[in-house]
Structure 1
Amino acid sequence: MDKFENAKGTCSKEMKEFFIHEISSARTIQEATLLYRLSEPFLPSCKFVLASDLGMEPGFSVNQDFSAGAAVRSLFHSKKVWVLDKSTLDEMRDGPAVFPIDYSISLDTQALSYLEPFMAGNIKRIPEDYAEVFRFISQDNVFVDPIPYCYENLRNISAGGNSEKIFAKLKAYEVLRNVDAKLLADEGIIRSKVPESDLIKGAQEHMARMYMNLDNKKFMDTLNFRHQFMYCQLLKMALIQLNNPQKSTHNKVVAFMDFCDEVLATLGGREIAVAKAYFEKGQGFTFFGKIQKNKEDIFEVLDGMAWDLWHVRFLEEAMTISPDPHARYFFPSILTFDKRFIEVMDLYPLKSLAYVEGENRPMPFYDGDWFGLVDDDSERQDKIAQRYYSTESVASRDERRSSCELTLDSTVVGLEEELNRLCPKAKPLRK
């Protein structure tokens, strides 16, 4: 507290980062609010969203479980959130703060792909709770989007025959967006409120945006890099585990963190938590259940898993970008039928997420003792903190990150070759 009270004049980058960390890691909402009030002059345009039992409800972007395993997952485990920003705090001085928010539930690729056969009555291979889920997402006040499906299928849209299949899926999404909710509730009939021509137009607009994205080199380079970055980390996790599954969990975690520190110049808390769960539980951590030495599709499976991890990181980034310019906050979540993915989401709930408006750079904070999550021995925790999180280590990664990013492709190729030697039956994706 003294550092806050004694801060005068200009504020260095290090001091701003200290303020953000202290507010985001505060023990209580009251403490976070007090710390924000004291440091707000040094944090222009900085916003904080904190998990809380108090505060506001972020629409339907909260955790929800359905009867057969489907789930909506947000970045937070709480049903409400507490927000901190200058405008909201100023309004709260004179009474309750009232402001518009926006939210959306992203349908993952499976969830959206099931729409078309469900509407056609082909339910043999559809999860048992899909009708329950459909009733939920078809409500007029529940907003859903197809972003995960559209992004994952950008690489497929130009391949022969795929464009028609993708169009059919997106047309089914347009039916969902325009479904006659009363007819569905009263008679169980799925029918659009708008004519067929409007459904076709809506699907065509989605397709047009996908083709525009394909032609946008900067967009595609960014998307491919972020997916490859996740894929790279998963390759390394698989190599460490499959090469020596009997090695201690601690040593495997250190090997992974060494790789992230030295080769990628980035330590992602969420990805390290995923690695720790895998190293500790092996295939008992079902997210990696299909990663076996004798399988031919290891690379394909890892590629799909990379999209899962990317979607979580995308939710974090989406919180910093509101689609509605009038909304003060945007709260994204994702609907999935994949129990393995749900396990990953539940592994790393956020205590808070901070960001500076206009920078699109989320700063997420884990809801718990992160060092305790990585290792249960206090002495080893101290060594990890000193080894990877000292001022010198952080500065070194910052300095090396750009050059490491330039070599990501060659890093991935090297890891694929190494994994292929370990798993000779596997068929690499690259030709």
Structure 2
Amino acid sequence: MRTETPQQRIVRLQNAANAILLHDPSDSFKNLIENNEELFKEFRLVYSTNNLDFEFSHSSLREIEEHCPTLKKYFYGTGILFYSDELYAATKTNGQIQIPIDYSLSLDSNAAERFRVWESGGSLDKEESRFEGLVRFIKEGQGQGFNFDYSFFIIENLLDSMKPENHRPFNTIRALKRFDYLEYEKSSFDIRSPKFSESLEESGKRTIEALHTFHSSKDIKGLLNRRKGLYIILLKAILLREQKVLGLDKQLEMLVEYSLYALGAFAKTEIYFAWKLLKHGKNLRFFDPVSQLGKKSLHRIKGMAWDLYAVRYQEMLVSKSNTGDFFVPFFASFDNRFVELAQACPVRAVIIDDVDQRVMTIYLDEYDFMIDLNQSIKGELQHRIQDPDEKVKRMSKKPVAEDLDKRAAELELILEGIINK
């Protein structure tokens, strides 16, 4: 029987996040848990660190990246540690224990389309060696191979796949589907002459079925709406940056007010991304494409929103697991922007509330972000954000696509006006 109200639980979730914020990254994971055991009760925690606490179940991110440099880790540290009530109790009783970890590999468009080129017999040129390393790691990594998840690529290209004249998304997804049937033997595999046990026709049928499933899924439409929300907040932040008379405090205040108006929610993670742009954008290469506005800015902002959404998408993956108690995501990319993104937005921890289905990501520099945020929002605005009843109400309401499209169009019109001055 539930003894905690949704309001009390969401407050406890926030207090657990605050405990991580206030915990020195160089201090031990054991101290974090034992000093806050009541806060973390019934939550799951994935915690990234450069100081692995070997009393707890853990995984080395450094070893995986060294094995396959094409992979870009989601978490900032060299390793990750895991907590749940059951794991903690077993650890106290038996010492360090082994837990099943579900590793997953997502692809950016750049990496996905290399599978299309390769599967169709095209040349990979200078990327051949790195691509072969990726293929071998997918088949062999961590002893049993990695889960190969190309759903992010399908989502990113879902609208383009509906255009009759654009065959690239279909052909790429078909190549990824066919890769499931790659005939792979470690000692004899030749990257230049792959063999598949499935025909192009069969892979094509499975691709059509997948696209139909994605196009008709309410959950996928919800994910696309979340990406639209991220794009709107990013675009609003870039417009606020152009108002040179505004200081950071006022920019953040206006951004929070706009988030409540446009999204009906306090979009903390999206506002965190915007804060990185507004406060640190000049020093982070990831934001270089929008350092100055021009004719290509809108296209670049949309691309940047997809890159940032890759972080949000991996956050969603962390909260789920197909075979293990914990899900550890990686991204495969052949360019540097995801390295730059990881450096710009380093993920320290993810708290998962399976009961109320909430996930909270804590970034390495989130303490600084929260200081700036608290200085910028006061009075009634602060009350609206912190009130537990309001939080629960906001989380139960989701903006519809039409309203998001309208907000985006309004901001795009303002941007075009600035560019065309």
TM-score bracket, shorter-length normalisation: 0.7 to 0.9
Partner of 1:111: 111
Partner of 1:4: none
Q: Aligned partner of 2:44: which letter?
A: K
Partners of 2:98 and 2:187 in 1: how far apart? 35
Partners of 1:129 and 1:36 in 2: how far apart? 44
Is residue 394 of structure 1 aligned with residue 386 of structure 2? yes
1:183-218 C-alpha deviation (Å, 9 max, x unpaired)? 466x654423x4243x653453243122122123x2
Kept in 2, the 8 Å contact 1:36–1:84? The answer is no
Partners of 1:32 and 1:224 in 2: how far apart? 36
Kept in 1, the 8 Å contact 2:72–2:338? The answer is no
Partner of 2:30: 30
Q: Aligned partner of 1:225: which letter?
A: N
Partner of 2:159: 155
Partner of 2:273: 274
Alignment of 1:126-137 (within 5 A): 126=127, 129-137=130-138
Is residue 232 of structure 1 aligned with residue 218 of structure 2? no
Measured at CA, do residues 168 and 289 of structure 1 come closer, stay the same or move farther in structure 2, by a change above 3 Å?
same
Of 47, 50, 57, the match for 2:47: 50
Kept in 2, the 8 Å contact 1:47–1:84? The answer is yes
Partners of 1:190 and 1:57 in 2: how far apart? 38
Q: CA deviation at 1:385?
A: 6.2
Q: CA deviation at 1:111?
A: 1.0
TM normalised by structure 2 equals: 0.79
Q: CA deviation at 1:313?
A: 1.0
1:324-358 C-alpha deviation (Å, 9 max, x unpaired)? 3xx22222221223423332233333332222226
Partner of 1:313: 312
Partner of 2:145: 142
Partners of 2:370 and 2:36 in 1: how far apart? 29
Measured at CA, do residues 256 and 343 of structure 1 come closer, stay the same or move farther in structure 2, by a change above 3 Å?
farther
Unaligned runs of 5+ in 2: none
Q: Aligned partner of 1:11: which letter?
A: E
Kept in 1, the 8 Å contact 2:61–2:78? The answer is no
Q: CA deviation at 1:156?
A: 1.8
Secondary structure of the residue that 1:182 maps to in structure 2? coil
TM normalised by structure 1 equals: 0.77
Partner of 1:75: 75
Partners of 1:360 and 1:73 in 2: how far apart? 24
Measured at CA, do residues 361 and 170 of structure 1 come closer, stay the same or move farther in structure 2, by a change above 3 Å?
farther
Partners of 2:36 and 2:271 in 1: how far apart? 29
Alignment of 1:255-274 (within 5 A): 255-274=254-273
Measured at CA, do residues 374 and 127 of structure 1 come closer, stay the same or move farther in structure 2, by a change above 3 Å?
farther
Kept in 2, the 8 Å contact 1:240–1:252? The answer is yes
Moved more, 310-319 or 257-266: 257-266
Secondary structure of the residue that 2:163 maps to in structure 1? coil
Partners of 1:211 and 1:321 in 2: how far apart? 23
Q: Aligned partner of 1:51: which letter?
A: S
1:106-126 C-alpha deviation (Å, 9 max, x unpaired)? 111111112233463523585
Measured at CA, do residues 32 and 255 of structure 1 come closer, stay the same or move farther in structure 2, by a change above 3 Å?
same
Partner of 1:6: none
Aligned residues: 400
Secondary structure of the residue that 1:289 maps to in structure 2? helix
Is residue 348 of structure 1 aligned with residue 341 of structure 2? no
Kept in 1, the 8 Å contact 2:46–2:81? The answer is yes
1:233-264 C-alpha deviation (Å, 9 max, x unpaired)? 121122122x3357544443443334224543
Measured at CA, do residues 82 and 168 of structure 1 come closer, stay the same or move farther in structure 2, by a change above 3 Å?
closer
Partner of 1:384: 376
Measured at CA, do residues 181 and 108 of structure 1 come closer, stay the same or move farther in structure 2, by a change above 3 Å?
farther
1:248-282 C-alpha deviation (Å, 9 max, x unpaired)? 44443443334224543433443333323322455
Q: CA deviation at 1:301?
A: 2.4
1:287-308 C-alpha deviation (Å, 9 max, x unpaired)? 3333376633333322222222
Measured at CA, do residues 290 and 30 of structure 1 come closer, stay the same or move farther in structure 2, by a change above 3 Å?
closer
